[in-house]
Amino acid sequence: VQLQASGGGLVQAGGSLRLSCAASGRTFSSCAVGWFRQAPGKEREFVAGINWSGGSTYYIDSVKGRFTISRDNAESTVYLQMNSLKPDDTAVYYCAADRFVTATETDGRNYDYWGQGTLVTVSS
């Protein structure tokens, strides 16, 4: 599975962005997908996850109610809709996939497939 993240950019606080994670590979529809982020000088953190069918999702507390993860298996794409963005959301965002994890897997070491990052910058 190969993943490509896109959709990052510069946005003012309170604004919105939608990230996309486009996949190639026949097994993608069997994979759970997680979005992670890494801010400058900080460790990578899990943000949101979705199971293979889209029926189960999981978010860290700081993004609940603001971010929505979804997927379209027919298009082999997972989305992260980010609303009410805050400067603290500034980071490089990565998508990751694996067949043997669930939507609640927060440890990036358990994901086999990673996309390149996409930079999200939220100005105050």
* Token representation of residue 64: 């609940």
Q: Are the CB atoms for 21 and 33 separated by under 8 Å?
A: yes
What pLDDT does residue 82 have? 98
Q: Are the CB atoms for 70 and 58 separated by under 8 Å?
A: no
Question: The tokens 């980010």 sit on which residue?
Answer: 82
CA 116, CA 73: separation in Å to the nearest integer?
20
Beta bridge partners of 4: 22, 116
What pLDDT does residue 25 have? 85
Q: SS3 string of 44-108?
A: CEEEEEECCCCCCEEECHHHCCCEEEEEECCCCEEEEEECCCCHHHCEEEEEEEECCCCCCCCCH
**How do strand 32-38 and strand 91-98 relate by DSSP bridges?**
antiparallel
Q: Average pLDDT for consecutive 10-residue bins of the chain (124 residues)?
A: 97 98 92 97 97 97 98 97 98 98 97 97 97
Beta bridge partners of 14: none
What pLDDT does residue 26 have? 84
Q: Are the CB atoms for 32 and 104 separated by under 8 Å?
A: no
What pLDDT does residue 69 have? 98
Q: Are the CB atoms for 18 and 71 separated by under 8 Å?
A: no
SS3 for 116?
strand
